[in-house]
Structure 1
Amino acid sequence: MSTLHEDEFNASFPKSYQPKDFESTIYHQWEEANTFAPQSRFGNTESPFVVVIPPPNVTGVLHMGHGLNGSLQDILVRYQRMLGRKTLWVPGTDHAGIATQHVAEKELKAQGKSRHDVGRKAFVEYVWQVKERHHKIITQQLREIGSSCDWQAERFTLDEGLSQAVRESFVRMYQAGDIYQGEYLVNWCMRCTTALSDDEVEYAEESSFLYHVKYPLVDGSGALIVATSRPETIFGDVALAVHPEDERYLAMIGKEVHVPMTNRTIKVIADSYVDRTFGSAVLKVTPSHDPNDFEIGKRHNLASINIFHENGLLNQHTPKEFQGLTIVKAREAAVALLEQLELLVKKDPLQHRVGHCYRCNTTIEPYLSKQWFVRMEKMASMALQAHDDGKIHFYPKRWENTYSAWLKDIRDWCISRQLWWGHRIPAWYCAACGKISVSTTDLTHCSHCQSTNIKQDEDVLDTWFSSWLWPFSVFGWPNQSEQLKEFYPTSTLVTAYDIIFFWVTRMIMAGLNFMGEVPFKDIYITPLVRDKQGRKMSKTLGNGIDPLEIVKSDGADALRFTIAYLSTQGQDLPLDREMFKMGGRFANKIWNASRFLLGNRVAIAYKPELAKQYSALDMWIAYRLNHASKLVAEAFTQYRFDDASHAIYDYFWDDFCDWYLEALKASFYADDVAEKERALAVSLSILEESLRLMHPFLPFISEEIYQKLPNKQADFLIVAPYPQAQDRSMWEASAEAFGTVKLFIGQVRAMRTQFGIAGDERIVAKVYIASNQEREAFMAHEEVMLRMAKLKTIELASVAFNETDRKAHLGVNLVGRDFEALLVMRHLINIEQEIAKLTKELAEVTQQMERAQAKLANENFVQRADPSAVAKERERVEQFSQQRIKLEASLESLKES
């Protein structure tokens, strides 16, 4: 193949690395070529590798958590695709009932309207328009970070197929008795005006007060004191409770008390739930507004008084002056009235955990209402058994404890939501016979009495009720499609820890319940992204990092590689914007190294037939590349993205760039044309395989460079074969031989640095080599060593050095396996100055070592200190000891010279 014209090369391979010039173009080319579609390659007959994306909210935008999750999923998917497995990554978005309805209502409010003004049908149509606008944004953002999803397989949790799956699952479970309706105390968000499941409540520490209130006895014999943090709920009190074994109150049981601020009286009852150590050990029982009181109410057949409207304002069951007040205002008014009535004994500061809505952060109120529930105990037992049987594995493993603990303490799942946007509950109420009909299709007649006087339930299902079906509904379930048969169960789930309860465990339960097997085997829990101060990134703190801003400034590869490099399994991920410069610098290094190699085609002809004519240098780099491939493969089996990216970084930056390319210049700058052509062909072969190795982590730059290679194996790197570690034992000796050359160069460089010898000063090296193979390696790479170690000459000695030789040449004793070298540099060193410097260093090291030894000699320290601190001191002693040996040897050499 002929050489390139310089102008042609510069036009196709600019000097400056500018990712924005090619990233979007490359992604478009991948899509156009349908490279993301599942297809087996290279004779791989393994089962398909399938990943379903944790569907982001359709109205959301990508934050760094999405950037992390999407990047790691894509790395896995690209790796498996290049192994030749039929690989499918299903993209999709979630209708996110509460969040999306909130966005739509906010827009209507700006127009002076509410959803009630426009009506349910028009409002739902409007939300669909909102969804379409936002959907385009989120899917484009996923493309920008390089997500190689099969967009032809994209799904939406409210699309026609998933809607059918939701109805089918509801009807099946209702008919099996696993879904039921009942009046229960639920978590209620007054702003969203909907019920929430236990898992949708987020708790935070808050400062408040504990109010001690008098409840006067009707018989006039005194009063009972009740401690409450919510005095506004006194209007809903239906009893006072004391412990049946509390001797202080045995005589009070059965008596009546006046309810403060009202004209009602209630009885004192006995219940073992009461904590005899809290407050006055007298509990006000308000079944409509406390889950524990609700259970007491059921046990004692007590009435319930609900004092709130669904929007949180106090209702008609409170005095007129309280009606219409917010909870906060009602609490202030209640405290003021209690003080006026001289019923408030005192108030104490209180720190307690308060529940908040996971969407809007409004304080959650327990609220009595009729809701739909899923019975969880049976399915939880199945999910626990699947774990015990080894059918699912968490990475890191510690999350298995979280999974098991939640399942063992599970409560029934409230699945109804008082919203208009979502899957409407497929239940119809008959006005004629009073019975409920459920159906997978819309009903016009009661299934019990055939009356047409029926009405569908107004509520919708919890968003998670559709997403718990996600791993099989995306493939057409309940229809037994070919896709379902081929791609279920999926392979790996990559998700954040905060939805283990919301989503992961429920998907496992749904998979076992409807499909008879777990939906995935491996569950990788991503690190939690924090800022440099260790705080969780959030809109409230304003400490988030927009991943798309990183893409714009540094490129998608910088974003992805930095995330992978820093994602240590089981540890949080602290990030700031500057950290992504590391990934950008690595990409720039790849660009410059590749440009250097390919630039040699301007003067050197590329001859592919020479690509396997390896020198010892080539065998060494191929050996290192093979080792890196092995490390990457091992890391992927344990989802250690950091280990894999470190292996790639260390290989390419250190071995390939700093050593191989530098050493290769000896061939490129030689007069031997045949050697130039051989070196170019071999090095481009190594580069091609190196690009394949790094592609999953840096897909854009690797593909851009790959397209410029004269020796690419496939139309696109994304579908080229991934490097597989081979048995390279036959290269081991050659690789070790060059390893000796590398060691020698490194030692010479270290000596030059230690003695402050300028770079333009050339040194004579005298080398004795016992091994013939290493002698040949030294001779073969003489030019490399002269240039990289900045030597004047290398003289090979025929016999081993003696003390006279060492003293004559300053005795800088470089020792490797089977070689010893002496550097002639006495004339370049100020002996007295160097002795003084090394003597000072030796004194400092000795002092530090003695301090560490003194600590270890102290029995109190050894016995009482943290074991890691003791181990650290022992490590310091060893390090200082080694430093002393080196310094003493250098001093001895200088003194004897």
Structure 2
Amino acid sequence: MKKTYNPEQIEAKFRSLWEDKNLFSSDSNTTSKNAYCIMLPPPNVTGSLHMGHAFQHTIMDILTRYHRVNGDQTLWQPGIDHAGIATQMVVERQLTMQDMTRHEVGRDKFIDKIWDWKAKYGGTITSQMRRLGSSVDWKKERFTMDDDLSNAVKKVFIQLFEEGLIYRGKRLVNWDPILHTAISDLEVISTEEQGSLWHMRYPVTNTGKVIVVATTRPETMLGDGAVAVHPDDKRYTHLIGKTIDLPLTNRKIPIIKDDYVDMEFGTGCVKITPAHDFNDFEMGLRHHLEVINILTDDAKINNVVYSSYIGMDRFEARKQIIQDLDNQNLLEKIEPHKSIIPRGDRTNAVIEPYLTNQWFVKIKPLAQPAIDAVKNGDIRFIPENWNKTYFNWMDNIQDWCISRQIWWGHRIPAWYDDKGNIFVADSLEQAQKQAGEGVILIQDEDVLDTWFSSALWPFSTLGWPKKTSDLSRFYPTDVLVTGFDIIFFWVARMIMFGLKFTGKIPFKDIYITGLIKDGQGQKMSKFNGNVLDPIDLIDGITLRDLLKKRTQGLMQPKMVEKTKKQTKKEFSDGIPAFGTDALRFTFAALASFGRDIKFNLKRVEGYRNFCNKLWNASRFVLMKLEGETIDINAQLSTADKWILSRLQNTKANVEKHLNDYRLDLMSQTLYEFVWHDYCNWYLELSKPLLQDDTTKAGTRATLIKVLREIVTLLHPIIPFITEEIFEQCNIIANHDNISLMTQSYPKVINNLISVKAEVEIKWLQTFILGIRQIRGEMNIPPLKPLPCFVQNFNTTDKQYLANNINILNSLVKMESIDKLTITEQAPESATALVGGMKIFIPLAGLINKNQEIARLNKEIDKLEKQKSQFEGKLNNGNFIKGAPKTIINIEKKRLAITLSTINDFNNQLKKISNL
């Protein structure tokens, strides 16, 4: 093995080997009784691998690799989503740079340009997945616009239409006035923004009185259908049934009563605009109100209102309307007001509730079986608390708008004649047969919501509606790994469609991961300037390039400066290259059931150190075994039996945590065994054992056996480094295994569990740690031989001493070990306990008493000054009031550590002074 661990070289080597040997194939091991399948949530074709992807892909890869080496026929199904709006925007921007529009190019040629773009740039995220070591079956990669998947989409649409579950109607949708399309709730970012609350006077017809209504969108008054009051509001009950002379229009609207009205908000009178508010729309249906749309598709005032505002942008019209109301003495007042503003995630435009003709899925009939599947335990959420969120969404489900006014996507398979009759079919020829010869048909211009095709993903990727071998073998799939933000948009719809079209659930478990946030707990976003690129963590990046990357696209100078300042503070030297394995181990360790996960670069650094330690330990073992014969039947020492016993316990815990989806606990278990048990203890214990003719053969066999099982256990988490170490182990052991992926996962061997060995080595560890603590506390050089006395020992202690005298002499440099009777007095000594047995280390001659007292007093004086500084800060009211809680906690922790250290030094001083 090379002296230095170089992840870059190792990763490139094994990425090629794995694919060249087709080791990710789901077609291997077809004789297995068990099949295991995970569906990759298809990332957008326009996207690149972000931290959320890398986190979830690591989880999926760990599960996949674990089941693969367990002998299951395993499929991790990859694929990419066509991402309708996002992809169309990318190609439209390219046309804009050429002073062209898609309308000038035409639909067919525009679609061709998108396919050209995909061929050239669409593989970014898959190449990044390869960098991460994702062991998907690349030969089965799918794209939501593949012919087979498109045919599945048409079949589902047609069947739902024929069953009356898909219909076309005029309803309110989220409308992006820049994209000119309906968008899903997931594409709407709602944030609190400072605005105003306008109080307007509405004259009550023929009374000379007015009522005051408050609104955050005064321009929508042009489409008001009523004013509503609460039926129990005594201020207005006498007005119910009367009408309002709607200002700035020639219309009269009724005053109605409805329980929806909040008597405490504003004046208790609410303007109802059915065409421009989702709640108002429902109220309009209840009260049969006129529905008046006042906007064009680009959010300008249309010609329906017959006013001087026609053609004005909505916000321009707002200013003019306020001015006109004020001129007519109909503006009561304006108050500052914070409200939730919906904006398009791609355009940042304020989204309008907009009344248009759209296609909808009548979803409630599909929802109940999906609810029952979770209630009866056929599908389980992990963690279980997400059940409540799921049921809440499903119990209040509304019809799903599935049409989008763009060109890229699955075009709706519906045709119209000149009378507006609809013919739904899988082709023009079939639609023509329905309409009759000679009828001119025009296909619907809209495409389907991307989530529609994604809802079919678990079974369409496996060949449905054909009865393929993959479909029968891998469906239902085993687990879906995804985020909580798309439980409704994707997870619930997959369950509904899976049950509807296959009669089976799409997956058995739904593992909901937390959201990766930055070190301060803030959501990572380009707008916040705090995004981390997983590839940068693998390869490293300079501060200069990181600043450029984070500020790109930030328009506001204040935001640019804030981002630069924060980045320089966090990454003053840029980001070093950690390698893929260190990043993967970090993600695995973070995979708890928490909703929010803080990502700290120190964690990656820690797991890079772990990889280094594993590398150096492996190199030590292989150097010790080079040229030696391995006798697997050799007699084992107590230390050998101990490490093998600890290994069995580790394997049992790893399997339990994996089955419970607690990858954080799995990672912690392996980390502690490898770092502490194997590297810190067993390798040290092995050094004297390898020098003893009676123990060296057993120790050699145990060293290599445990190392091979360690890398096999770790392989699902850190596949690259473990492959390299395994390859080197095979050379030493003269084995010819191609890869760790062809190696069986280690099983617990119960007869290797030895409580006796674990108790004895625990005794030995306590003895060694006690001596080392005395050396450290008393500042005794590590190589200085120590005389030692033991007292109050029993028969077991005596036996353990005899068994391990060579190890003790080697590891803690004992000059002698003498036994004292219970009545004998030990010289002035530092003491330690091993169970009931006392250890005495005489200090006379080991340290210079006066020098050590002077050193300790100097250290205590320095610590006392630090203590005063910390206490001064924490007793300062201004500091406590103004500092962030995290900073205050850091100062408290520093004070506690300082006090503890002062106490330890005082105890040492007391001991030395008594010598």
Normalised by the size of structure 1, how large is the TM-score?
Answer: 0.88
The CA distance in 2 between the partners of 1:893 and 1:268, in whole Å, is: 90
| Partner Cα distance (1:614, 1:537) in 2 | 53
> CA, structure 1 residues 447+641, in 2 after alignment: closer, same or farther (shift >3 Å)?
same
**1:437 — aligned with what?**
423
Answer yes or no: is 1:470 the counterpart of 2:457. yes
After TM superposition, give the deviation of residue 826 of structure 1 in Å. 3.3
Counterpart for residue 10 of structure 1: none
Residues 777, 908 of structure 2: 8 Å contact kept: no
Match of 1:562 among 582, 586, 595: 586
2:405 counterpart (371, 396, 418): 418
Pairwise CA distance, 1:296: 3.0
Name the aligned partner's letter for residue 145 of structure 2. Answer: L
Deviation at 1:244, TM superposition (A): 4.5
Q: How does 1:682-693 map to 2 (within 5 A)?
A: 682-693=702-713
Question: Which structure 2 residues correspond to residues 265-664 of structure 1 after superposition, within 5 A?
Answer: 265-318=252-305, 321-431=308-418, 434-443=420-429, 445-552=432-539, 553-601=577-625, 604-610=626-632, 612-664=634-686
When the two chains are superposed, the root-mean-square deviation of aligned CA atoms in Å is 3.1
CA distance in 2, matches of 1:713, 1:888: 60
In structure 2, the partner of 1:743 is: 766
TM-superposed CA distance for 1:162, in Å, is: 1.0
**How far is the alpha carbon of 1:303 from its aligned partner?**
2.7
Unaligned 5+ residue runs, structure 2? 540-576, 868-895
How far off its partner does 1:695 sit? 0.7
Could you tell which deviates more after superposition, 753-762 or 442-451?
Answer: 442-451
Which of 737, 749, 759 in structure 2 is aligned with 1:714?
737
Q: CA deviation at 1:554?
A: 1.0
- Whole-angstrom CA distance in 1 between matches of 2:211 and 2:652: 74
Q: Deviations over 1:744-799 (max 9, x none)?
A: 1111111112222222322022346966666555444433322321322334x4xx
Tell me what 2:876 maps to.
none
Alignment of 1:229-248 (within 5 A): 229-248=216-235
Say yes or no: does 1:53 pair with 2:76.
no
Q: Give secondary structure in 2 for the equivalent of 1:788.
A: helix
Paired residues of 1:40 and 1:84 also in contact (CA < 8 A): no
Identity of aligned residues (%): 40
Aligned residues: 839
* Contact 2:648–2:753 (Cα < 8 Å) also in 1: no
How far does the alpha carbon of each residue in 1:145-175 deviate from its partner, in whole angstroms, 9 at most, with x for none? 1100010111111111111111111111111
Task: Give the match for residue 5 of structure 1.
Answer: none
Q: Of residues 811, 814, 823 in structure 1, which corresponds to 2:841?
A: 823
* Post-superposition offset of 1:41: 5.7
Shift of 1:135: 2.3
Contact 2:644 2:753 in 1 (8 A): no
How much has 1:356 moved relative to structure 2?
2.7
Displacement, 1:573? 1.4
Residue of structure 2 in register with 1:865 after alignment: none
| Equivalent-residue separation in structure 1 for 2:634 and 2:712 (angstroms) | 18
Aligned partner letter, 1:692: T
Q: State whether residues 640 and 698 of structure 2, in contact with CA within 8 Å, keep that contact through their aligned partners in structure 1.
A: no
**1:517 and 1:218, CA in 2 relative to 1: closer, same or farther beyond 3 A?**
same
Per-residue deviation, 1:511: 1.5
Q: How many angstroms does 1:119 deviate by?
A: 1.0
1:19 aligns to 2:10 (yes or no): no
Alpha-carbon distance change, 88 to 671 in structure 1, aligned in 2, over 3 angstroms: same
* CA distance in 1 between partners of 2:415 and 2:806 (Å): 88
Residues 104-143 of structure 1 mapped to structure 2, 5 A cutoff: 104-143=91-130
Superposed CA offset, 1:405-434 (max 9, x none): 1111111111111111111111122226x4
C-alpha distance after superposition, 1:638-683 (max 9, x if no partner) = 1111111111111111111111112222244x385x8555533431
Asked if 1:766 is matched to 2:789, the reply is yes
Letter in 1 for 2:216: S
Q: Name the SS of the counterpart of 2:355 in structure 1.
A: strand
**Relative to 1, partners in 2 of residues 1:43 and 1:634: Cα closer, same or farther, differing over 3 Å?**
farther
Cα distance in structure 1, aligned partners of 2:683 and 2:76? 37
Task: Map 1:202-241; keep pairs closer than 5 Å.
Answer: 202-219=189-206, 221-241=208-228
Question: How do residues 770-809 of structure 1 correspond to structure 2 at under 5 angstroms?
Answer: 775=798, 777-795=800-818, 797=819, 801-806=821-826, 808=827
Say whether 1:680 aligns with 2:696: no
Q: Distance in 1 between matches of 2:643 and 2:663?
A: 23
Check whether the contact 1:187–1:195 (CA below 8 A) recurs between aligned residues.
Answer: yes
CA contact (8 A) 2:229 2:261 kept: yes
Between the aligned partners of 1:224 and 1:230, the Cα distance in structure 2 is 18
Deviation at 1:738, TM superposition (A): 2.4
Alignment correspondent of 1:754: 777
CA shift, 1:267, in A, is: 3.7
After TM superposition, the structure 1 = structure 2 runs for residues 29-178 of structure 1, keeping only pairs within 5 Å, are 29-38=17-26, 45=33, 47-178=34-165
* Paired amino acid for 1:413: W
TM superposition shift of 1:492: 0.8
Indicate conservation of the 8 Å contact 1:235/1:317, yes or no.
no
26-35 vs 567-576, greater mean Cα deviation: 567-576
Change (3 A) 1:41 1:734: farther
TM-score (norm 2): 0.86
Question: Which runs of 5 or more residues in structure 1 are unaligned?
Answer: 1-12, 849-876
Partner of 2:551: none
Q: Do the aligned partners of residues 322 and 714 (structure 1) sit closer, same or farther apart at CA in structure 2, a change above 3 Å counting?
A: same
The secondary structure found in structure 2 opposite 1:293 is helix
Structure 2 partner of 1:9: none
